[in-house]
Structure formats: structure tokens, C-alpha cells
């Protein structure tokens, strides 16, 4: 038993001496700074690389809150990470900027929304939002696609009905001037009002849009039906003895207007429909 206690005591003394020797070989903070700064000609004002430091930027789009076609703006929530290798002792943080952003906000929380990881080789990983500036930029393009079913139900389908209603006047006969006038005028006014309500929900631009071509052409077809009514009324007053001529004008209009509108649809959808697809 005594021999065992002496062996343990000798083992503890040997371990203590080895630990002391290892501690004496390790550098303290002052010696470490002296080795890095003085013996290696370290300067914090010296650039680490001639061509700068490569910063890897990654981000996740968490949510797109709203999209406004009137102002061409959209809001989104995103999480940004940056990673780079910093050879200097003083940590450098890159300035991440959003060139076309109108407003940026960091969510408030009980803790600071910054996560920083410093690796052994000097690689720094940090997520942070910075104010905008003129620096090297990472360009990101967001492509949004419209859901065209809304435009079809709100713009195209009602205009089809208005044009079809205006064609009913061709079947009422040359004597029904008053009903034909009411149908044509109401169809034209409803289309003008509908066009104005659509324009309120679209951005104001300097070029002609596809919906502009459609609405203006549709109103032209309704307006031409009123012109046809005026021709029929004029001939009805001047040539009452030749009513077959007036009826012939209505018969021609009953086929000419749908044919012209069908040709317009073929040209329109061939021109703009493939762009949508």
C-alpha cells in the first residue's frame, strides 16, 4: 500500500513538471502580439492583397411581401451571409449595398442581428446589413411574371361582350334607329369607362402597351358600328323607295364586322400572345 502511494505521488510530480514545461513553451498574449507585429513587419495600414479581397455573398429570399405595378416597387425579406479571408488582425467588414433600393430596414430584436464566425485561418463569416455606398457590387435580377388570367377576366372578356352586343344592332332592321343608337352608344360608353378603370391599375409609361392596342381597337369597332348606323339612317331618309339597298348594308355589316374583328384577333394574339408565352 505504501509503495502504491509513493508511485502515485511520483506520477503526479512528473505530470506537474510536464505541464509546467508546456506552459513555459506556450506564448502569452504579449509574446504573441510581439511575434506577429514586430518580427513579421506587420502594418495595419498595408493592404492585404494588391487586387483586394474576394468576398463571397450568399442570401436567401425569405418572403416577397408586395409588388406594386403603379410604382414598379416590391418589398422582400432576405437573409444575407458574407464570407472572406482576412489576413490582418483588425477585422474588416465589407460594405454590402443595394443600389436600386429605396428603403432598407433591419428587424429589431432583443439581441443584435449579427452573426460573426472567425475561423483559424482568418476566414470571417458574418451576416449584417450595411448602408449603401459606391463599392464592388453583386448584381441580382428578379424576374416577375404576371398572372394573365386576371387581365383576361377583367379586360379582354368584357370587351368581347361589348363588341358582340354592338353587333346585335345589325339584326334589328333599318327602321329601329333609336334602339340601335342606344345599343351602340351604351356599348361605346361602357368600353370607355372600362378602359379608364383598367388604366388606374396599370403603371403610367411612355410607350404603347398591348392592352392599349386592344382597348383602342375594340372601341374603334364599336365606333364603326355607329358610323354604319349613321349611313343607314342617312340612306333611309334619302332613299326610302330603295329599302333593299339599306338592308344590304346591314347584311354586309353583319358579316364584315365579325370578319374584321376576327382578323384583328389573329394579328393581335400573334403579335402579343407569343410575348406572353
The DSSP result for the chain, as a single string, is -HHHHHHHHHHHHHHHHHHHHHHHHS--HHHHHHHHHTTTT--TTS-S-TT----EEEEEEEEEEEEETTTTEEEEEEEEEEEEE--SSS--------TT-S---PPP-SS-S-EEEE-TTSEEEEE------SS------------HHHHIIIIIHHHHHHHHHHHGGGGS-TT-HHHHHHHHHHHHHHHHHHHHHHHHTS---SS--HHHHHHHHHHHHHHHHHHHHHHHHHHHHH-TT-HHHHHHHHHHHHHHHHHHHHHHHHHHIIIIIHHH-
pLDDT for the residue 15: 46
Taking only the tens place, the pLDDT of each residue in 140-194 is: 777 777 777 777 888 888 888 888 888 888 878 777 778 888 888 888 888 888 8
pLDDT for the residue 215: 87
Taking only the tens place, the pLDDT of each residue in 245-273 is: 667 777 788 788 888 888 888 888 888 77
Which domain CATH number covers 178? 1.20.58.390
Give the count of domains, the chain.
3
Domain around 109: 56-127
Task: Tell me the mean pLDDT in the region 239-244.
Answer: 58
* Whether 166 and 117 share a structural domain: no
The answer to the question of residue 140 being in a domain is no
Residue 240 has pLDDT above 60, yes or no: no
Amino acid at each position: 500500500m505504501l509503495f502504491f502511494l509513493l508511485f502515485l505521488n511520483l506520477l503526479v510530480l512528473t505530470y506537474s513538471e510536464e505541464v509546467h514545461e508546456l506552459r513555459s513553451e506556450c506564448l502569452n498574449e504579449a509574446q504573441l502580439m510581439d511575434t506577429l507585429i514586430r518580427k513579421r513587419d506587420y502594418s495595419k495600414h498595408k493592404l492585404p492583397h494588391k487586387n483586394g479581397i474576394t468576398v463571397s455573398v450568399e442570401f436567401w429570399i425569405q418572403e416577397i411581401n408586395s409588388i406594386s405595378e403603379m410604382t414598379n416597387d416590391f418589398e422582400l425579406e432576405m437573409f444575407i451571409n458574407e464570407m472572406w479571408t482576412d489576413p490582418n488582425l483588425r477585422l474588416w467588414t465589407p460594405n454590402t449595398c443595394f443600389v436600386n433600393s429605396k428603403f432598407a430596414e433591419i428587424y429589431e430584436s432583443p439581441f443584435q442581428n449579427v452573426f460573426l464566425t472567425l475561423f483559424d485561418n482568418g476566414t470571417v463569416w458574418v451576416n449584417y446589413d450595411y448602408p449603401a455606398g459606391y463599392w464592388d457590387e453583386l448584381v441580382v435580377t428578379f424576374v416577375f411574371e404576371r398572372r394573365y388570367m386576371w387581365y383576361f377576366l377583367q379586360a379582354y372578356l368584357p370587351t368581347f361582350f361589348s363588341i358582340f352586343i354592338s353587333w346585335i344592332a345589325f339584326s334589328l332592321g333599318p327602321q329601329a334607329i333609336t334602339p340601335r343608337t342606344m345599343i351602340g352608344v351604351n356599348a361605346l360608353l361602357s368600353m370607355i369607362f372600362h378602359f379608364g378603370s383598367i388604366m388606374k391599375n396599370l403603371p403610367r409609361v411612355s410607350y404603347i402597351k398591348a392592352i392599349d392596342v386592344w382597348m383602342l381597337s375594340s372601341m374603334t369597332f364599336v365606333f364603326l358600328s355607329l358610323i354604319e348606323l349613321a349611313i343607314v339612317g342617312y340612306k333611309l331618309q334619302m332613299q326610302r323607295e330603295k329599302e333593299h339597298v339599306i338592308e344590304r348594308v346591314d347584311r354586309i355589316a353583319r358579316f364584315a364586322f365579325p370578319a374584321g374583328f376576327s382578323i384583328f384577333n389573329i394579328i393581335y394574339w400573334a403579335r402579343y400572345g407569343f410575348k406572353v408565352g
